[in-house]
Amino acid sequence: MNRIRDLIRMDFITMNGGKNNMKSLAIISTLLMLLGGFFISPLFGAVITPLTVAGFFPIMIFQNEIKYHAEKLPALLPVRRRDLVTSRFLMMTGLYAAVIFICYLVMLISMLTGFYKQAMNGEDLLSMLAQKTQFTEYGLFHLAVCIGAAAGLKIISITLKQYFSDSSILAAALGVKEQNGKKNKQRAVSSVIIIAVTVLIMLVLGGLIPIGPAFSLIFEMLMQLAAIADGWIFGIVVLAAAACSAFYDYVCTVLSYDEKEI
């Protein structure tokens, strides 16, 4: 355990050493998302902030390591590879959980005070969706928090798994190393699909896009299942599924990194 703690400390020192532009960008972006959620809609902060944090944090943590081409340095240390993987998964998930918890508290304060409704003159996406579904505003908010947190956790675990497999993935994002066109195209397509699906779901929930009778029936059944206990059960199930998936990524990373030639 002491070894894992020392490895986490080493990563923090590496992150804070040198010029880390991504750290400032990650902090500013997160603050902007929090302010947007506080003043515009808690639903915005509950969904967008976790995705923003999950997208920036891995690059922020490993920017200096990639920039100074120190990816292979941990392999020279007298530590087991599985300890390195464990320390980085624990560090990333711990930081992510702390930021998401702060985000949740800020959004909850906005809801309890009703400040976002005053700022938007009573118009709010959360209220509109709650009226069109079987959720209360608080139930829909907590469900959005669970879904956003689960999606961000999965993004972080996948990014860490890919980084241990091939560090050029983040190197290309930082512009340090060219990445092949096929991988760039796959990442671009994935991002477009995620954004399109999110927008489509919001439009369907808001009633702006009509759906056929068959799809309407299926959609209503899914909404009724999700609305049990005002969305709490479904939200917990989503979080549990994301945690299990992240643990699976961790185990796969440990096994593959142990056999990787560095």
Could you read off the pLDDT of 190-242 as tens digits, one per residue? 556 666 666 666 566 555 666 556 555 666 666 666 667 777 888 888 899 99
DSSP string, the chain: -HHHHHHHHHHHHHHHSS--HHHHHHHHHHHHHHHHHHHT-HHHHHHHHHHHHHHHHHHHHHHHHHHTT-TTHHHHSSS-HHHHHHHHHHHHHHHHHHHHHHHHHHHHHHHHHTHHHHHTTT--HHHHHHHHSS--HHHHHHHHHHHHHHHHHHHHHHHHHHHHH-THHHHHHHTSS---HHHHHHHHHHHHHHHHHHHHHHHHHTTSS---HHHHHHHHHHHHHHTGGGGHHHHHHHHHHHHHHHHHHHHHHHHHHHH---
Give the per-residue SS3 of 19-87.
CCHHHHHHHHHHHHHHHHHHHCCHHHHHHHHHHHHHHHHHHHHHHHHHHCCCCCHHHHCCCCHHHHHHH
Could you read off the pLDDT of 114-133 as tens digits, one per residue? 777 766 665 666 777 777 77
Q: Tell me the pLDDT band of 180, cut-offs 50, 70 and 90.
A: very low
Residue 63 pLDDT more than 70? Answer: yes
pTM of the model: 0.76
What pLDDT score was predicted for residue 217?
60
Q: Tell me the pLDDT band of 169, cut-offs 50, 70 and 90.
A: low
Residue 85 pLDDT more than 80? Answer: yes
Q: Across the chain, what does the average pLDDT equal?
A: 76
